[in-house]
Chain A
Amino acid sequence: MTTIVKDNQAEVCDAPNSQDTIEKGLGLLKYMVIGVLFGIVFVKAEIISWFRIQEMFRLQSFHMYGVIGSAILTGVISIQLIKRFGIKTISGEKVIIPTKEFRKGQIIGGFIFGLGWAITGACPGPLFAQIGSGFTVVFVTLLSAIAGTWVYGRFATKLPN
């Protein structure tokens, strides 16, 4: 087992950069390329569609459940392989997977996000892909999501968590 689990990362952010090697300039462009491929899959599988999200919450189509389920299965297998074989990153570092500690926010915040997911037909990823697809008005939704994030940050210490 060469995978290190760090729990102090949770405070930094929830999708942290755990790499020691610092990347700058063109080195960062590879993440944009991965994002481009990811965005293409989002559109081609119609995951960004408001209608697909409605079908999902109305239990009238298997599509979204199939997408999320097979994505998780692929992720589980990949992470198990990385752990079992001690696969290192391309710069030779140990793979770090931060621990997610249980908090009340996962229940309350999770529920609030679910309400918004059904209205907007988008989680944060598809918001970006919808804008790119030409539904430019979703930029307003994105700004409002940023405002929501800011308001959470402002009152984070006062909310039950």
Chain B
Amino acid sequence: MEKKTIRPSIGGSGEGKLLLHDLVAEEILTRLPANSLMRFTCVCKLWRSTILDPCFQQVHRARSLPSDRVVPLRRAPLRRVRIALPDPCLRRKVRPRYRRSLTASFFFDPAANRASATPLLAKSRSFFPLLSRHLLL
């Protein structure tokens, strides 16, 4: 098949490019599995910053759970993760040998990469599916 050249609405002016980028990012990239996403960080700088953006990852996670794993965030500091544990009672119920996997689940959680404590608490309800899954193990 003859390869079409990219149309003006896509590759031409800066504005069209951004429009397509928004669409691609919002609708298409969030539907990709994690390993494809990590490869596509090499496409260009804009794709990389989009893919590694915590908000993007949150949308991606919402779309891919429960069938897919969440993209691991390489830069997420583990220490911050402990603050993310929403409820002290829950922490007590977890036997020590499970703590590790529990922390890991927060490590994987893009929301845990947020800087301030307030959004973490506000989002804490969304942590429960993850928590209960580990407690069942």
Is the A/B pair a real complex?
Answer: no
Q: Which residues of A contact B (CB under 8 A)?
A: none
